[in-house]
Structure 1
Amino acid sequence: MGRSVILSVGYEGRSQQNLLDVLRSHGTTVVVDVRLNPISRKPGLSKTRLAAALAEAGIEYRHLKALGNPRENRSPFHEGRVAEGCEAFRKLLAAPEAESALQQIVDESRTTTLAVLCFEKDHDRCHRQVIVDEVTKRERRDITYA
């Protein structure tokens, strides 16, 4: 088997169709949604409609709320204090629910091309960078950014 790949993807500025095209182009088989509240003002990108569209495209959907970034830790990412936001989020990963959710990603990424999904377009300005870093610390994965 080839090396496992994790795709880090944000849907900011994308339509549902564009997101599906990106996921398909990378051979994604599972999307892990790491938004605390998987709702969106963008048509088709809230949990229920997104999960249905992904299922139709042959892609499984998982929402791991335990890996969502709490509202009070979003401003560091938006205001350019990314290291501060990452450090605060890293501490939250010590919770048993978050630890279990991280392990799910590690386990599932052994046999699938898995995408970690959040809103922010830029991986480096989103809490999902901490999630991807933690997964790759546990097991070697190639990371692709879309």
Structure 2
Amino acid sequence: MNKVYTIGYEGKDIDEFLELLRKKGVQHLVDVRSYPTSRREKFDKENLKDRLFHESILYKHIPEMGGLRDEDYEEVMEEEDWKDGFEELKEIASEGKTVLMCLEKDPMRCHRRFIAERLEEEGWEVVHIGRGGSWKEKSLDDF
């Protein structure tokens, strides 16, 4: 079974964030923010991409999967651009350990949960990084 991790960087500094990725041997980070900027400079796209490069983690931003939308995210998931992004995500995740990243630490308050549900529907295992930095192997039903 294929596996995908998810993480929110809220409440984490960059070193803690990178340590969590190292512990699981993450090879790919897929940024699913609509706009890959942050008030926390180290999580801006170019800064993050550079730090990940030094950790031998490949960075990919898929803006088509971003969550800041006027319309319902479940409706967005039916758009061709979103579906193309989802296929790209699965290709990346098939190549090595992959984590989806957005801001929110709680996946139930983030559009990552919708992505996770779709992955689970297609037979993928989704593992959310738990509160406090622990790794919890839970399905969305456990939240």
* TM-score between the two structures when normalised by the length of structure 2: 0.84
Q: Which residue of 2 aligns with 1:79?
A: none
Tell whether the 8 Å contact from 2:119 to 2:126 is kept in structure 1 after alignment. no
Tell whether the 8 Å contact from 2:31 to 2:61 is kept in structure 1 after alignment. yes
State how far apart, in whole Å, the 1-side matches of 2:41 and 2:14 are: 7
Q: 1:142 aligns with which of 116, 125, 128?
A: 125
Q: 1:24-63 counterparts in 2 under 5 A? A: 24-63=22-61
Sequence identity of aligned pairs in percent? Answer: 25
Structure 2: stretches of 5+ with no match in the other structure: 130-143
Opposite residue 67 of structure 2, the aligned amino acid is N
Q: 1:104-119 counterparts in 2 under 5 A? A: 104-119=88-103
State how far apart, in whole Å, the 1-side matches of 2:64 and 2:29 are: 15
Q: Does 1:123 align with 2:107?
A: yes
RMSD: 1.3
Q: Which residue of 2 aligns with 1:65?
A: 63
State how far apart, in whole Å, the 2-side matches of 1:42 and 1:108 are: 26
Structure 1 stretches of 4+ with a deviation exceeding 6 A read none
Opposite residue 96 of structure 2, the aligned amino acid is T
State how far apart, in whole Å, the 1-side matches of 2:47 and 2:92 are: 23
Question: Mean Cα displacement is larger for which, 104-113 or 10-19?
Answer: 104-113
Question: Mean Cα displacement is larger for which, 129-138 or 56-65?
Answer: 129-138
Q: 1:2-41 counterparts in 2 under 5 A? A: 3-41=1-39
Question: Cα gap change, 1:71/1:103 in structure 2, threshold over 3 Å: closer, same or farther?
Answer: closer
State how far apart, in whole Å, the 1-side matches of 2:35 and 2:95 are: 27
Alpha-carbon deviation of 1:102? 0.3
Alpha-carbon deviation of 1:56? 0.7
Alpha-carbon deviation of 1:70? 2.1
Alpha-carbon deviation of 1:111? 2.7
The secondary structure found in structure 1 opposite 2:4 is strand
Q: Does 1:94 align with 2:115?
A: no
Q: How many residues were matched structurally? A: 129
Structure 1: stretches of 5+ with no match in the other structure: 74-87
